Amino acid sequence: MLEPATSVQYVKGIGPRLAEILAAKGIHTVDDLLHYLPFRYEDRVNPRSISELRSGEMATVIAEVRNSGLFRTRRMPIFQMTAGQGRSRLKSIWFNATYLRDKFKPGQMIALYGKVEQDQYSGEPQLVQPQFEIIGDSTDDGATDAAEQKVASSLEVGRIVPIYESAGQGRLTPRWFRRIIRTALDNLTPDLTDPIPAMVRQRLGLIAPREALWEVHWPDPGESLSDLQASRTPAHIRMIFEELFFLELGLELKRCEQKAQTGIGFKLDDRVREAIKKILPFHPTAAQKRVLKEIASDMEQPVPMRRLLQGDVGSGKTIVAFEAAIIAMEDGFQVALMAPTEILAQQHYFSARRILEATGYRVVLLTGSMEDARKRDIRRHIAQGNAQLIIGTHALIEQKVEFAKLGLVIVDEQHRFGVLQRFKLMKKSGDVGARVSTAQTAEPDVLVMTATPIPRTLALTLYGDLDVSVIDEMPPGRVPIITRRISDERSAEVWEFVRKQVAAGHQVYVVYPVIEESEEKELKAAIKMYKELDQRIFPDLRVSLLHGRLDSDLKDQTMRLFQKGEIDVLVATTVIEVGVDVANATVMVIEHAERFGLSQLHQLRGRIGRGAAKSYCVLMTGGKISEDGERRLDAMVRTNDGFQIAELDLELRGPGEFFGTRQAGLPSFQVANLIRDRQLLEAAKREAAAVLSGPSEEISKSEIALALRHMRARWQRTYGLVEVG
């Protein structure tokens, strides 16, 4: 008997070698294998007779191979195979299919599935590019019987056939998966406990786990094909809900646990309010006021704050962060502000100095490039409690700093951090807390800032462990950025425009896409373009180059020159995406804009329009533009609203890509899809909260314990996080 946790290599027919291929697909256990769902289904319930085929329909035909061969036409080789049922004959063709040359032997029984079309010469129906499976060989007199038997027991014919993505460069075919998964199902232990509490099961009408596994791989011939394709059969719903439920259960638990720890209840009286008012160089927007209120009321509670501050680039998060910092500092606590890069840390440092100057708070900067003696000195100040606001890069603050009395950690993400990555990060900031002098037992508050608008539905998952505040309003007086797309054949006009802007005292970015797989090439393009702009097009202007391969000193130096206005045109790869604030830059030219993702385009555009002057984003396009590319460019021209952009981006790319799969720390789902399954996700969150509200008449203690145990095992296995719960 196979247990869900049994290694796949023990499923008959797999073994250690194939198990390795499966491991690369994330399939390690029997359970993983059974969660490897078909990406589509084919209706082969009713094999058709050749004589009744109509052109335009999809059909399954079971017939005997008569002959086959490769034909070369002027345009491409075409492989042709004729199969028959009695006297009827049916031709199938495959384009460019030289690999089929020796595939078929006359007399073989074969199942074909594909689109019926009319042959343009003979007018007869034919199958174009059908999928096929050889069901049996006919070699002697008893052949027909044997073949028929095979048909009967075949996993492909007379049923709705699941189609799996193949693995191992095609070695493990959809057919192989069908066979292996069937074997696994046949040998699966009969007593699978359902980890979902009965109350939840009932409310959602969920079928049992075992039944779901069978039905999803082995649908009943009567099952609705469209429900199957849409992953909306009871079997799919059961499996999807289960996955989301245990994700949300972990997140909810994490949230409860955080709330249960002792935090710091900061004093918030008129004196503090006065101190905050004093620093404001402008009237805060209504949105800024609202989020500050949310943050402040968290900070007043003696429970650790875990709050996400979301707001589009330029929406004014920084000042809100400083306001929060003042609340902590006024109460005698230290604040750590962590930025993703040194440039940004420096930028935060300068604005902190500017904004907090008059108030007398002691602000320090701690970066890797400082001399060691200097760093030691600053660390001592931090340990002794002399430094109040400590600004640095994540790496630096996380690892080596001991605080005297840390009250608030502000994490400026800029990049999208998924929930998992943040768990790790918070654990570290917890460590920071732990290294605070032993006299401090309370957990510091944590405020995470992100410049990436996250569609609301997704925030539920990604930030399920955090409370969310959103700044959904731009500071007044912003002139909306004008965005235009223009073919690169008209680049002369663009450069003319750039020249005018520079003459008017402004600065310009010119950005080249660096796409991972051809980074080298793109880099060359940027360097080449830099030379072209510097020497030929703008010989009289100050043009500089910035890209990721430059060493960080040089990068910093270039960025600083640009900030000081000593560079007119900065040619860059996407390294400038990070939030550097140069109010005087009014033009962003993006070359090959069709190659960028939508959110990335929006982030790049966010580098301009930071001052009072009118700003322009020019999307230059070259070559062929895909349909999605058109939609992206179109959206950019149409709207400046980061949330709208994010929603569309998510729709176009799917969650994995949207968050840049690997770095995102986004839980990768086996069966769920965050866009398709929004409603199930909401239900999962609701039910997870209900379960954690404790035992009642509806749910027993042992059910809760079982669910939590299952959740922990799952989190550990899938997300590599042991410490949850």
User: DSSP assignment, residue 167?
Assistant: B
Q: Shortest gap between Cβ of 605 and ligand ADP (angstroms)?
A: 12
By CB atoms closer than 10 A (0-12, 13-18, 19+), residue 121 is: exposed
Q: Name which of 464 and 579 has its Cβ closer to Mg ion.
A: 579
DSSP-derived 3-state class of residue 55? coil
Here's the x/- map for ligand ADP, 618-637, by CB under 6 A: it reads as --------------------
The yes or no reply on residue 480 touching ligand ADP (CB under 6 A) is no
Give the footprint of Mg ion on this chain (CB under 5 A): 318, 579
- Give the closest residue to 83 by CA, choosing from 143, 44, 135: 135
Nearest to 416 by CA among 644, 106, 649, 205: 649
As a whole number of angstroms, the distance between CA 7 and CA 79 comes to 41
Q: Quick one: which segment of 311-319, 336-344, 452-460, 504-512 binds ligand ADP (CB under 6 A)?
A: 311-319
Both structure tokens of 524 = 């060359």
Q: Choose among 596, 374, 616: nearest CA to 493.
A: 616
Identified binder of ligand ADP from the candidate list 319, 363, 470, 588, rule CB under 6 A = 319
Residue of the chain from 250, 314, 430, 513 that contacts ligand ADP (CB under 6 A): 314
Residue number, 318 or 334, with CB nearest to Mg ion? 318
Contact 44, 159 (CB under 8 A): yes
Q: How far apart are CA 162 and CA 175, in angstroms?
A: 9
Q: How far is the CB of 388 from ligand ADP (least distance, A)?
A: 20
Nearer to Mg ion, 321 or 598 (CB): 321
Q: Is 475 in the site for ligand ADP (CB under 6 A)?
A: yes
| One residue of 221, 282, 399, 479 binding ligand ADP per CB under 6 A | 282
Q: What is the closest distance, in whole angstroms, from the C-beta atom of residue 215 to Mg ion in the complex?
A: 50
Cβ–Cβ contacts within 10 Å for residue 364, how many? 18
Q: What is the DSSP letter of 416?
A: P
CB of 646 to Mg ion, least distance (A): 17
Binding partner of residue 311 among ligand ADP, Mg ion, none, CB cut-off 5 to 8 Å per kind: ligand ADP
Binding partner selected for residue 195 from Mg ion, ligand ADP, none, CB under the kind-specific 5 to 8 Å limit? none
Sheet containing 445-450: give its strands across: 363-366, 389-393, 334-339, 406-412, 445-450, 306-311, 467-471
Residues 564-623 that bind ligand ADP (CB under 6 A): 579, 581, 610
Q: Does 317 bind ligand ADP (CB under 6 A)?
A: yes
Q: In this complex, which beta carbon is closest to Mg ion, that of residue 254 or of residue 610?
A: 610
Closest CA to 92 of 69, 109, 121: 69
CB nearer ligand ADP, residue 352 or residue 442:
352
CB of 547 to Mg ion, least distance (A): 22
* Residue 346 binds ligand ADP, judged by CB under 6 A: no
Among ligand ADP, Mg ion, none, residue 313 binds (CB under 5-8 Å by kind) = ligand ADP
What is the DSSP code string of 518-583?
Answer: GHHHHHHHHHHHHHIIIIII-TTS-EEEE-TTS-HHHHHHHHHHHHTT--SEEEE-GGGGTT---T
Q: Please, what is the minimum distance in Å from the beta carbon of residue 602 to ligand ADP?
A: 12
Classify the C-alpha dihedral 120-125-127-133 as positive or negative. negative
Q: How far is the CB of 525 from ligand ADP (least distance, A)?
A: 29
Which of ligand ADP, Mg ion, none is residue 71 near (CB under 5 to 8 Å by kind)? Answer: none
Residue 605: count of CB within 10 angstroms of its CB = 23
Residue nearest to ligand ADP (CB): 316
* Burial environment of residue 201 by CB neighbours within 10 A (0 to 12, 13 to 18, 19 or more): middle
Binding ligand ADP (rule: CB under 6 A), the pick from 313, 326, 684, 724 is 313
**Rule CB under 6 A: which residues touch ligand ADP?**
282-285, 288, 311, 313-319, 451, 475, 579, 581, 610
